[in-house]
Structure 1
């Protein structure tokens, strides 16, 4: 999980990509964005899908699952 606007998050993502490339490892294209709704759902001990089904994190997780299933 990351925020593209944070320089440190971008630098870490670039380092992961370089390391994966050097070892011929494929990284998933999907990225999970940070979202306040995730923390709220955790605090309420409820499913994120039930609490905020349209938040960015849910959309990102769905994209990741679709990418994983395409393998």
Structure 2
């Protein structure tokens, strides 16, 4: 997934800058990274739920369409 790859890049970059960052700055960066991870996880879960719903709707539509074809 592209999003997960980008999140990993951000985490890798965080590890690079942490040694040269003040303690208060580190806390802020860790907090921001945790928030970013949580937001990504939430978005990913929402996308998975939407995909599941769309797959179900598509399956129902296919059954309906097949039924209409049989009636014609």
Structures share fold, TM-score greater than 0.5: no
Larger Rg: 2
How does the TM-score come out when normalised to structure 2? Answer: 0.28
Which is richer in helix?
2
How does the TM-score come out when normalised to structure 1? Answer: 0.29
